[in-house]
Amino acid sequence: MHPGVRVWAVLGMCLLAGCSAGPPPAAGSGDVAAPSRPPVSAAVITASPKDGTQEVAADAPVKVAVAQGRLVSVRLADDKGAAVAGKISPDGASWAPDGRLQLATPYTLDTVAEDAAGLRAAQHAAFATLTPAHTFAAFFTPEDGSTVGVGMPVSLRFTRPIADRAAVEKGVTVTADPPVPVVGHWFGSQRLDLRPEKYWAAGTKVVLALRLKDVQGAPGDYGTQEKDVHFTVGRSQISTVDLDAHTMAVRQDGRLLRTLRISGGSPEHTTYLGAMVISEKYEVTRMNSQTVGMGDEYDIKDVPHAMRLTSSGTFVHGNYWADRSIFGSANTSHGCVGLADAKGGSPDTPAGWFFDNSIVGDVVDVVGEDGDAVPPDNGLNGWNLGWAQWVKGSALTAH
């Protein structure tokens, strides 16, 4: 046989027999073992809203729960890093925030849980709250920092109709020092007034707290206000207009200051009866009968010392154009309470004196044989409802 043929035959036999260069290496001789998987926590975390959710309602429930373990930490934070307060349940199985979310805000939710073996699981989620299509706000009376009379209610007028009156009323509180219960009453869907059972005590400090931000007043309509309004109740002034005697007795802190002669509404245009609150004061104003549905009966461009009693146009005001003899003897006006005055207004006249001694929130109580009772929503005149009727107008009171 040719020597080369012998060599290839030996090689072929080795290949068929699976020949190797030597025996397999012994264990521990330097080979690398396959990597083992780390232990996995048995704790299973679930959270709501789910990661990536958009347009979450501000009052939607935010919940974190864990099965087969206990929560170690939960952090809900807005896009500025401000954390939302919340509590883990005593058994460690769940977490919930203490309050509502803010609208139009991105949030992150980071949770850590631990199983019985001490192994930890973590979860990160992100979501964003609803950006409302419409918002509402409340215009409030009285003004912040003002001093008012004992009859001044807190009156809120909303920029949009309120459907969920209870939710909005919960966002409005009025507290007083000295303390007194204060209850709200709705006049329609856009006005909420709040007052105590009786007139405020002189010297009372009052705080109106508006917590309406992100409160849903109607489907798609959310509040915007977080504000405190402070005002002080001054001395007590209650003036009694007697239409039959043609007088007004002005009492301050129960003491009679002065009795003024007046001219009230004529038989064709009687003055409203009841307790009315001065809501505005003007040293001079224009009064036009067309604005109150009386045609062209009058248009006086410079009415002095005018103080509004109703939104429909009842005033106590100075009158320089009528003969002085009517004051104290006849009712000749179109429904207002007139006091003698000088053209341009004078502090030395009855009208000027009353103007200078009155503040917004003072009470003018009109009595007489003829006239209609003033509607309680015509001006700031809810005092003409008894307390039981007033309380029935609250969305928070069981009827």
Q: Which residues are catalytic?
A: 317, 336
* Rounded (10°) CA dihedral 256, 257, 260, 264: -60
Q: Is 256:350 a contact under the CB 8 Å cutoff?
A: no
Q: Is 339:318 a contact under the CB 8 Å cutoff?
A: yes
Q: 10 Å Cβ neighbour count for 372? A: 10
Look up tokens 């009372």; give the residue: 204
Q: What is the DSSP letter of 325?
A: G
How far from each other are the two terminal CA atoms of the chain, in whole angstroms? 121
Pairing relationship of beta strands 205-211 and 44-48 according to DSSP bridges: unpaired
67 membership: H or E segment, kind and range: strand 63-67
Q: How far apart are CA 281 and CA 94, in angstroms?
A: 58
Q: How far apart are CA 26 and CA 36, in angstroms?
A: 21
Q: Is 183:390 a contact under the CB 8 Å cutoff?
A: yes
Kindly state the tokens that stand for 294.
């009386």
